[in-house]
Each structure stands twice: as C-alpha cells, then as structure tokens.
Amino acid sequence: MGKLTEALERFGRDYIDPPMMTTKEEKDNIWVYNQLHQAGFLNTGMKKLNLDSKYWACSKKEFEDWIEWDWTNGKRYISEQYDCDNFAFSFKARCDRKIGINTVALVIDYGGGHAYNLVCFTDAPAELYEPQGDRWVKPNASKSKTEVYKMTDGYIII
C-alpha cells in the first residue's frame, strides 16, 4: 500500500494545478542577459544560447513554492539513462509546461562534468539550482577539481 500511495503522490500531481504565479512578468533577451551577467554567470567562459525572444519570470518566493510542489527530485537516478542532464532537462520542461516560467536555464557544465539549472527571478539575483537535490548551489570554479558547479566551460541554454 505504501508504494501505491507514493506513486499517487508523485505522479498524481501532474493532474493537479501547481501553485499560482501571481508575479509572473514578461521579460526580453536583454533582461535575461543582464540577469546572467550581473550574477557573474557570463564572465566565466560560459556561453548563452537563447531558446526564446520573450521570457516570463516570477519572484523567488513563488518559485520556491513551485519547487516544494514539484517532484522532479524524486525520480530515481540511473547512470547514463536518467542522470544529471535528464533531471535538468525535466525540471526546465516542467517549469515551462506547468507554470509558464521559461527563465529556467539548462546548464551544461563541461568544466564540472555536470548538468543542472539556473533560474532568473523578478526580485532577486539569478541562482544555480540542483534539481536532483532540490537545493540552491553556488558556483565553485576556484575550489577543488572534484566540484561539479565550475561554470568555466559550457552552455547556459535558456
């Protein structure tokens, strides 16, 4: 019975409306560029690839309410089948599809050998997000070779 309840909790949410975004604001490529540049993400060797010409962003608080609702982090990690890039792709796609927020970027970090997300907000600086653990992370280009959020070589796809 526990597994059935867990499955309903995890997958049933796709049929329930997520939290409402009341501060969703339309933005453009220049705004996104400025957000990424001011947060220091474009000064490190990363390249930005635009997917849209119009963007919609929300407040950090509302985005954190969405994270609480979202279940991407509950997926099972399977090496080379459902790993870091799949988590990051899935999280970005769910934000686009479920709440209409497309200011979530897919970060392909060749320097760190990892994929994760980056989020731009209407009321706070852009931040890195680890979808596998539901947590905000800091870039660590100056730390040890084992760190995965290097942000020194790769792509920010937004």
- Output the domain CATH number for residue 92: 3.30.460.70
> Does the pLDDT value for residue 122 go beyond 80?
yes
Question: Is the residue at 51 inside a domain?
Answer: yes
Question: Is the residue at 5 inside a domain?
Answer: no
pLDDT tens for residues 58-95? 999 999 998 988 878 777 777 877 789 999 999 999 99
Question: Is the residue at 105 inside a domain?
Answer: yes
Q: Looking at residue 5, what is its pLDDT?
A: 56
How many domains in the chain? 1
Question: Is the residue at 10 inside a domain?
Answer: no
Handedness of CA 88, 114, 130, 142 (dihedral sign): negative
Domain containing residue 115: 31-140+147-157
> What's the whole-model pTM score?
0.84
Distances (CA, A) of 112 to 132, 142, 147: 16, 12, 6
What DSSP designation does 99 have?
I
Question: Is the residue at 100 inside a domain?
Answer: yes
Question: Is the residue at 8 inside a domain?
Answer: no
Question: Is the residue at 4 inside a domain?
Answer: no
